[in-house]
Structures are given as C-alpha cells and as structure tokens.
Amino acid sequence: GRIMFELAGVDRQKAKQIAELVDHKLPIKVRLRPRLTLGGEV
C-alpha cells in the first residue's frame, strides 16, 4: 500500500494521515480490513 503512495509523491506521514482520514469515513466493517487495500484499490 505504501508503495503506491510513495509513487504518487506522498510521504509516509501524509499517507498515514490519508489512511486515518479514510478510516473515519469508511464503515466499521471496512475499517477492520488490513490497510493494504489503500494501495490503489480503494
């Protein structure tokens, strides 16, 4: 997942912020999934 963010020019700190932001907006069932799906599938 992080590779996609880095290729997009987003550093890990920002990627973490994006992941947390997305987590807040996603349903609980989706939040329980591994964050690997944040690579480009979400």
The residue with tokens 């947390």 is 20
Long-range contacts formed by 1-6: CB under 8 A, 24+ apart = 1/35, 1/36, 1/37, 1/38, 1/39, 2/39, 3/39, 4/38, 4/39, 4/40, 5/38, 5/39
Note the pTM of the prediction, 2 decimals.
Answer: 0.34
Amino acid making up residue 27: P
Query: Using one digit for the tens of pLDDT, what is the confidence trace for 1-42?
Result: 565 656 666 677 787 887 787 776 666 555 555 655 555 554
User: And the tokens for 19?
Assistant: 């992941």
